[in-house]
Structure 1
Amino acid sequence: MPVSDQLIDQLLANYKFPEDLLGEQGILKQLAKKLAERALEAEMEQYLGYAKHDAVGKNTGNSRNGKSRKSVRTIHGDIELETPRDRNA
C-alpha cells in the first residue's frame, strides 16, 4: 500500500528541527516502534487464529498472556518494544 503525500504532510506538520524527525523522540523512531508493534500484534493474531478480545479464543488452550518489553537496535537507535506473549510460548 503506497503512503500518500497527505499522510506525510500530516506527519510533518509540526516538523521544525532535524531532531523532530531524527531525534530520540523523532517521528522516524516513533513510526518504527508503532509499525513493529502492530506487525507483532498481527503475527500473534494470525498464530492464535483469532482477534484480541474475540470470544472464539476462549478455552482454546492457548491465549494471549500480556506483553513483555524488548529492546531492538535499529538504524534510528534502540527502540523499546512491547511484544505480545501467549500462554504456550
Structure 2
Amino acid sequence: MTPVRFKTIISGALKSWDLDKDLTIEMNGLSCLIIEKSGLLVKVVFEEQAFGNIWKISKVGEKERVHPSVGATLKSLSLILSPNRPVGRVIFAK
C-alpha cells in the first residue's frame, strides 16, 4: 500500500457514496481523519503487521473496528458515515 493508493481508495469511496462534498479529509501517509460538518470524527489507518495487513476505523466515542480487507473496511466505513444507505457488495476499481 502506498499513500497515493490509500488516498485513492478513501477519496474514491467517499465520492462514490456522494459524501465527498459534505466531508473534509486530512491525509497523513497511510492514515486519515474524516471530519463531518457536524463535527463527527472518524480515523482510518492501514497497517502492515507480521500476520498480514489490517485496517482500523476509529469513531469518536466508539470501540475501534479492525478489518483484514479493504472490502470489509469500506462496508464498515459506509455504515458509520451513511447509516441509512443500502450496503452494496460489489466494488469496482479504475
| TM-score (norm: length of structure 2) | 0.28
Computing the radius of gyration from Cα coordinates, the structure with the larger value is: 1
Greater per-residue helix proportion: 1
